[in-house]
Structure 1
Amino acid sequence: MSREQFEEWIADTTNSDLHRSIMLDKRENGNYRHLATNNKWEAWQEATKHAEAKCAALAAKGMEVVREASLIYSKYNDTQTPDRDIVDQQTLQELYEICTADGDSAAFLAEVRAQGVEQLASLAGNECHRYKSVGDRAGARKWKSIVILCTDFSAQLRQEAAK
């Protein structure tokens, strides 16, 4: 996700224009002056990187499974010539369309992405609890911000897919 989307998310979660300007003020090197915003930006980038990698892996695996199912159904049909107990062509066509269509699979992929981000949120939540248990408040806050980012991001993915 882009810096613009991150900044839009920060702007949406702040209460006032003054607070928003403080949170989004940047240094010349591009880092945010506000430490919490800088930590959230780093967490956002890391979460995005992990979510995109997970999404790509899940999408590839999903397509692999669909292609394999299509092949199995086709081979099954070849063995059923005598009694004609075959998988209908509509099923095979639907499997083919899943493999080739971008528009129809966009909502499915958005859901896969959202679930991947939620898994990252769960992992971050576990880390937050671990840091709390050893009394590391700064570490716990950083992990908690990742949980919040991931939760909001998964909701955003679903909203964008619904449009």
Structure 2
Amino acid sequence: MEVTENGNTFNCSCGFSWQRGTNGTHNCEPGLYRQITALQQKLDAVVAESVTLKGFVEERCWVYDDDVGRYRDAHNYLPETPATDAILNGLRADGVQQLSAFAGQEYQRFAGDRAMQRKWKGIVLLCSDFAYKLRAGNADKAGE
């Protein structure tokens, strides 16, 4: 943690502060959890706006194409959004990993039934691989 001094007050980066001459011992976790939650909410809002704007461009915007001399829908002219794409792929990967966890539970449930366990194990492996590819930005290369 980082502590800064402002006059007779000391401030920890977690949000906790204390006066000179008093004990500054504290647990940073509650303050950090509040900060993380607040930042996650802001990030979620930015991602939602980005997705909405991208959808707006895809559905309602037009660009003039000099090659054909007319206006075309802007679907093929979207700007690159690697940060938004990475966040969305991370969220998608979280969902795929939840499916993988469910399949792992089903695998355990069928202990002794090798055929069923083989099927559930295949789903676990497929989901794990796909989640990895989503996070790496290679989901379009699944199956290669």
TM-score w.r.t. length of structure 2: 0.42
For the pair shown, the structure with the greater C-alpha radius of gyration is: 2
Higher strand share: 2
Higher helix share: 1
TM-score w.r.t. length of structure 1: 0.37
Greater relative CO, 1 or 2 (CA 8 Å, sep 6+): 1
